Amino acid sequence: MRQDQPNNPLHAIKLADILDFLVANYGWDELGNLVNINCFKDNQTKKSSLKFLRTTPWARAKVEQLYLDSI
């Protein structure tokens, strides 16, 4: 059963969609400057970035905050 989360602006938004939005708006290089994460600087692929972000809560929080600040 699905529950609504009115106080969660990220509800029903996939991490892959957040990453696509940020890459489209900033590009990999600028994204690496805004969020100091090696997967945005060295191995600039969606697959490696998603793998890292899914396993690293602090990095995911920074990316989600940047997304919220950007919309």
Q: What pTM did the predictor assign?
A: 0.88
Output the CA angle 57-30-18, nearest 5 degrees.
45
Which one, of 8, 41, 48, lies nearest residue 26 by Cα? 41
Contact indicator for 51, 67 with CB cutoff of 8 Å? no
SS3 category, 71: coil
Phi, psi of 11 (to 5 degrees): -60, 130
The domain covering 22-70 belongs, at the CATH homologous superfamily level, to SAP domain (1.10.720.30)
Per-residue pLDDT of the chain (71 residues), as tens digits, is: 456 777 888 888 999 999 999 999 999 999 999 999 999 998 899 999 999 999 999 999 999 999 999 98
